[in-house]
A = this chain, B = another copy of it.
Amino acid sequence: MAKDAAIAATPVEKLAEKGPDKRPEKGVAERNEPTLQAVKSAKTRARLIEAAIRCLVKHGYSKTTTPKVALEAGLSRGAMLHHFDSGRQLMQATLIELNKKRLRAFRRAAETKEHNVRTLVRAYWAQLLRPTFIAFHELATAARTDKELAETLEPVRVEFRERWHELAIELFPEWRQDLRRFDLSLALCQNLLEGMALNRLTNGVEERDIEAVLEHLEQQILELRPS
């Protein structure tokens, strides 16, 4: 992928759905193609993004190339560049999709299980073990030295933080009393778990320590909770 960063600064929205702009409704001379072809396009785009995610997990960012992604998606490279003007655009779209996935998983976990600190901590930890997070981390790491990726990542991080904040305060409204401790709890949870998840990827943490850390974190958050 890669290629030296340049000017860029593509609007984030455009990346999310470059696809065929669906004309509103009718129009005399205007051809109003509803969305039958657009659906296929969207599916193909999704397939490419999924393939990109798998490649990031399997080969890592540095070895994730456009031919590999196309092959993984079962498409030709030409078709791929028809949907994404460049390999970089694909990566940016992938980053956005990864964020959506993480947020979806979050909300899902919050809906099904009952809302106590333990389940929420466990739910997040479970998320960090999935490919989605691994791929996200690959891109986040690359974004440190890739201006365009960084520009895509920034709003993503903001949204993630906000959504998580919202969700957590929705589940535990009593925490509204002390937002200071609330933020601390979130920061604690996120950084500790993510750090452990990352270290785990390359044997940087003893497997037997994990459970103890999880339990301790839960205890900590409980003690930080207001009433």
Contact = CB atoms under 8 A, between A and B. Distances in A.
A204 interface: yes
A143 interface: yes
Contact of A144 (B190, B192, B202): B202
Interface residues of A, number: 49
Nearest to A196: B191
Interface in A25-64: 58-63
Copies of this protein chain in the complex:
2
Contacts of A192: 188, 191-192, 195
B2 A62 contact: yes
A212 interface: yes
B220 A205 contact: no
Interface of A: 1-2, 4, 58-63, 134, 137-138, 140-146, 150, 153-154, 157, 161, 180, 183-184, 187-188, 190-196, 198-199, 201-206, 209, 212-213, 216, 220
